[in-house]
Amino acid sequence: MAVEKMALAKAITASLRTAMEDDAKVLVIGEDVGKLGGVFRVTDGLQKDFGEDRVIDSPLAESGIVGTAIGLALRGYRPVVEIQFDGFVFPAYDQIVTQLAKMHARALGTVKLPVVIRIPYGGGIGAVEHHSESPEALFAHVAGLKCVSPSTPGDAYWMLQQAIHSDDPVIFFEPKRRYWDKGEVNTSAIPGPLHEARVAREGTDLTLAAYGPMVKTCLEVAAAAAEEGTSLEVLDLRSMSPIDFDAVQRSVEKTGRLVVVHEAPVFYGSGGEIAARITERCFYHLEAPVLRVGGFHAPYPPARLEEEYLPNLDRVLDAVDRALAY
């Protein structure tokens, strides 16, 4: 078994390298992905090893990057697009929603569009304006797109492999505040399905459901609650579209309570969809309303205020206390 401890960002680098070694049709395209190795150095060394024809430094034009990737996919390639920061994806939103998401579905699968769009997302790094956003609900809402987000280096490695191998377009949200968190990566493992949730911590009193950057926060909440005798189950959703509602249902039927946590605003966020579906599915098992913890319905604040905006241990614990009080 090839087990190595590495940071989440380096796990993504290793995953890209493996995919490119295994399939000459896998290309990387984006702003500064080549000689610079990306702003977070995720693609560091790839252009040197695979050449400028496979690791392509693009112009500063996100719409053009995604449009080019769509054309490459139609010709049999498997392009992996890097969007430098979450806030930069919006110029490409038209291409993603009106072209990428629809061609595969409208052709009933006969036209394949194996495009992966990597987006570093979320806050917590003190970045300037337009460099910290959580736009996942905008993409999860669109039929024809798959949206996933790893929370550990091991998941980052394998989920990216699976996304690249998929014939569906996949939006791969990378939690940039967790890029430097280290964990074990088993490159010889047999991964589970891409869109299957995992239980990150077993518990009996309440379920915390999260994905990406908030999984670590929820694990910290569960550890703090355990000191006071409360057993919280932490469910890493891993996928925002499709959502593994069966896994959420199994957990809620066991614990009777659910709190959904994400960095994105609560208003029209993915937590609302989960709350509605689980209320339908688990009405007779729920002992309290499904509660949500997330960002506020306001433009993402300046860096000095982001800690007031982002969900933290205290805000999640407050929701846990409210749910347990019913």
The tens digit of pLDDT for each residue in 96-113 reads: 999 999 998 888 888 999
51's tokens:
């050449």
pLDDT surpassing 80 at residue 254? yes
The answer to whether residues 53 and 46 touch, using CB atoms and an 8 Å cutoff, is no
- How many percent of the chain have pLDDT more than 70? 100
227's tokens:
């000191």
The tens digit of pLDDT for each residue in 33-83 reads: 999 999 999 999 999 999 999 999 999 999 999 999 999 999 999 999 999
Whole-model pTM over 0.85: yes
Which class is 3-186 in CATH? alpha beta
List the chain domain ranges: 3-186, 198-324
Query: What is the reported pLDDT for 23?
Result: 97
The tens digit of pLDDT for each residue in 277-317 reads: 999 999 999 999 999 999 999 999 988 899 899 999 999 99
Burial class (CB in 10 A: 0-12, 13-18, 19+), 91: middle
**Average pLDDT score over the chain:** 96
171's tokens:
């939006």
Distances, alpha carbon 121 to alpha carbons 86, 137, 223, in Å: 5, 12, 26
Q: Per CATH, which fold does 198-324 belong to?
A: Rossmann fold (3.40.50)
Catalytically active residues, by annotation: 131
pLDDT surpassing 60 at residue 152? yes
Query: What is the reported pLDDT for 1?
Result: 57
- How many percent of the chain have pLDDT more than 90? 92
Query: What is the reported pLDDT for 164?
Result: 98
Per-residue pLDDT, averaged over 129-145, amounts to 94
Same fold, 3-186 and 198-324: yes
Cα distance between residue 216 and residue 132, in whole Å:
18
